[in-house]
């Protein structure tokens, strides 16, 4: 047997071993090389996501424990409105320049900081016990749903059907939130709204994790991390709303 044939035979046997025996295979039918590249992409996305969550924690803690910043955000509705609009404004350049390094990382950092300031403002107006409970619940749910999605993908399940359902639910959620600005709901209705929001973003965590495994291209690491970050952040805010309404 020639050297080329021996190498080909070794590669084929390794691919068969990964496809059939290894627990690291992402989903059925994925070749050995593609599997390794996809795992590298996933590790890169989760590395960026971890950095975003750490940055959010630091900025939120600064807002909570810094009395001048806290008072500024609490007493100036114009600044709060501006901070709410900044992430939406940054979504456009984030999408346009998501493949241009290092501009994509700079925009992603600004996007993360702007959202972190609003999260910090919400946490500053909430009892510390409730914030801790929301953090623990968020961490447990995100870890469970992520692990389940990886396991389900390996078993051949697909969650692409959730896309239209979740998008429609999100539009209804946004419209309901706008209505609340003019016709505020009671504590019970707010808790129900938060619970429904949490369920929707649970679905988004599963859907976007499935896209991370199967559909995002290798150049979309910024978009993938931003998408998962928004899912986790919105789920945390929803849980915070439910717990705060229950406490009231």
Quote the number of domains for the chain.
Answer: 1
Is residue 1 included in any domain, yes or no?
no
CB 91 within 8 A of CB 147: no
The predicted structure's pLDDT at residue 44 = 95
Q: Which of 203, 102, 110, 108 is nearest to 162 (CA)?
A: 203
DSSP 27-67: STT--HHHHHHHHHHHHHHHHHHHHHHHHHHHHHHHHHH-H
DSSP the chain: --HHHHHHHHHHHHHHHHHHT-TT--STT--HHHHHHHHHHHHHHHHHHHHHHHHHHHHHHHHHH-HHHHHHHHH-HHHHHHHHHHHHHHHHHHHHTTTSTTHHHHHHHHHHHHHHHHHHHHHHTS-HHHHHHHHHHHHHHHHHHHHHHHHHHHTT---TTHHHHHHHHHHHHHHHHHHHHHS---HHHHHHHHHHHHHHHHHHHHHHHHHHHHTS-TT-HHHHHHHHHHHHHHHHHHHHHHHHHHH-
The predicted structure's pLDDT at residue 22 = 44
Structure tokens at 79: 């600044």
The predicted structure's pLDDT at residue 6 = 46
Q: Which residues, at least 6 apart from 226, have a Cβ–Cβ distance to it below 8 Å?
A: 94, 108, 111
The predicted structure's pLDDT at residue 169 = 93
Is residue 23 included in any domain, yes or no?
no
The predicted structure's pLDDT at residue 189 = 79
The predicted structure's pLDDT at residue 148 = 96
Is residue 172 included in any domain, yes or no?
yes
Ranges of the chain with pLDDT below 70: 1-23, 75-77, 247-248
Is residue 122 included in any domain, yes or no?
yes
Biggest CA pair distance of the chain: 79
Is residue 132 included in any domain, yes or no?
yes
Measured between alpha carbons, how far is residue 150 from residues 15, 143, 145, 191 in Å?
20, 11, 9, 31
Range of the domain at 114: 31-247
Is residue 24 included in any domain, yes or no?
no
Is residue 121 included in any domain, yes or no?
yes
Q: Which residues, at least 6 apart from 239, have a Cβ–Cβ distance to it below 8 Å?
A: 134, 137, 138, 194, 198
pTM higher than 0.75: yes
Query: In whole angstroms, what separates CA 93 from the centre of its chain?
Result: 19
Is residue 202 included in any domain, yes or no?
yes
The predicted structure's pLDDT at residue 106 = 93
């Amino acid at each position: 047997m020639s050297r080329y044939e021996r190498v080909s035979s070794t590669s084929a046997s390794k691919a068969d071993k990964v496809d059939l025996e290894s627990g690291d295979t992402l989903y059925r039918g994925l070749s050995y090389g593609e599997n390794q590249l996809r795992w590298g992409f996933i590790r890169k996305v989760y590395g960026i996501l971890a950095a975003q969550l750490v940055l959010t924690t630091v900025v939120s803690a600064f807002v909570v424990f810094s009395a001048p910043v806290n008072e500024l955000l609490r007493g100036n509705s114009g600044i709060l409105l501006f901070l709410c609009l900044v992430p939406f404004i940054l979504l456009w350049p984030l999408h346009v320049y998501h493949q241009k390094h290092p501009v994509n990382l700079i925009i992603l950092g600004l996007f993360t900081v702007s959202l972190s300031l609003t999260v910090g403002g919400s946490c500053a107006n909430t009892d510390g016990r409730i914030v801790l409970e929301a953090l623990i619940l968020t961490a447990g749910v995100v870890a469970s749903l992520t692990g389940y999605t990886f396991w389900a993908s390996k078993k051949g399940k697909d969650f692409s059907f959730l896309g239209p359902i979740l998008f429609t639910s999100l539009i209804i959620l946004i419209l309901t939130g706008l209505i609340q600005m003019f016709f505020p709901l009671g504590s019970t209705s707010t808790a129900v709204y938060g619970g429904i929001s949490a369920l929707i973003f649970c679905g988004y965590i599963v859907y976007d994790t499935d896209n991370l495994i199967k559909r995002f291209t290798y150049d979309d690491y910024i978009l993938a991390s931003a998408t998962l970050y928004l899912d986790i952040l919105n789920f945390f805010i929803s849980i915070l709303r439910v717990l705060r309404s229950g406490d009231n």
